[in-house]
A = this chain, B = another copy of it.
């Protein structure tokens, strides 16, 4: 298909790469940042555009990959209301597009994209939604060329999925940071935790995570919990996080095996 990318950040960049690698053509890359726009357009062999006014009307799909709060501003100036235009956000409902956009939709890849890291796109689930049958089927075809897992999802379910993604990605990554800070203060290297981090992910994708749960809170080991809270310091934010998650583990567990 012929695609126009609006946006030149991480998602535009990863998506553009996955699409061109799977035979699609990026006609234009439109972005406010001249430097990243030019660089991305060059990599994708597309025309760089500074403003939305010289957009081509020849594309099959227009992908708006900009920060959530800027989607409506893009939509407000987008000239082709009949075209299939999608945003890529997990947490923004379809009604961010005016009702006149009869083929508006969403194309949400469920993954964390950082800088130049390569992502195995075929494994990344892509959630699609659109206002018309025609746009839905076009997005489904497009998504299937880059991902082995395409699901149709209405806006509210997508928001729930996005919430779950924030929990397993952003929150666990922050827990890694907190653990790393603890080790650093003790003169220990974070690398010591790498095998455990890998094994935690491996186990939770090999069995239901509730069955993989171990640790002091799961065992009801009040003595170890007390020692840990003492290290963290009563009343510290880290102690609050520790206590709250431990309580949640205790209250969610069935009988300990």
Q: Is A208 an interface residue (CB 8 A)?
A: yes
Copies in the complex: 2
Interface of A is mostly: helix
Q: Is A201 an interface residue (CB 8 A)?
A: yes
Q: Which of A45-53, A55-63, A74-82, A247-255 contacts B (4 or more CB under 8 A)?
A: A247-255
Q: Which of A17-25, A97-105, A129-137, A185-193 contacts B (4 or more CB under 8 A)?
A: A185-193
Min C-beta distance of A137 to chain B, whole Å: 22
Q: Say which residue of B165, B167, B178, B186 sits within 8 Å of A157 (CB atoms).
A: B186
Min C-beta distance of A209 to chain B, whole Å: 4
Chain B residues closer than 8 Å to A198, beta-carbon distance: 201, 205
Inter-subunit contact B112/A203 (CB<8 Å): yes
Min C-beta distance of A198 to chain B, whole Å: 6
Q: Is A159 an interface residue (CB 8 A)?
A: yes
Min C-beta distance of A246 to chain B, whole Å: 8
Inter-subunit contact B161/A204 (CB<8 Å): no
Inter-subunit contact B174/A196 (CB<8 Å): no
Min C-beta distance of A128 to chain B, whole Å: 13
Inter-subunit contact A125/B192 (CB<8 Å): yes
Inter-subunit contact A176/B228 (CB<8 Å): no
Inter-subunit contact A182/B163 (CB<8 Å): yes
Inter-subunit contact B196/A179 (CB<8 Å): no
Inter-subunit contact B249/A244 (CB<8 Å): no
Inter-subunit contact A179/B203 (CB<8 Å): no
Indicate whether A173 sits within 8 Å of B123 (C-beta atoms), given known contacts A110-B195, A204-B197, A237-B247.
Answer: no
Among A211-257, those with CB < 8 Å from B are 212-219, 221, 223-224, 227-228, 231-232, 237-238, 240-242, 244-245, 247-249, 251-252
Additional A-B contacts beyond A161-B183, A171-B245, A173-B212 (5; CB < 8 A): A112-B214, A163-B182, A173-B213, A175-B175, A180-B208
8 contacts between A and B (CB under 8 A): A91-B216, A159-B231, A160-B231, A165-B179, A166-B228, A167-B178, A168-B196, A197-B205
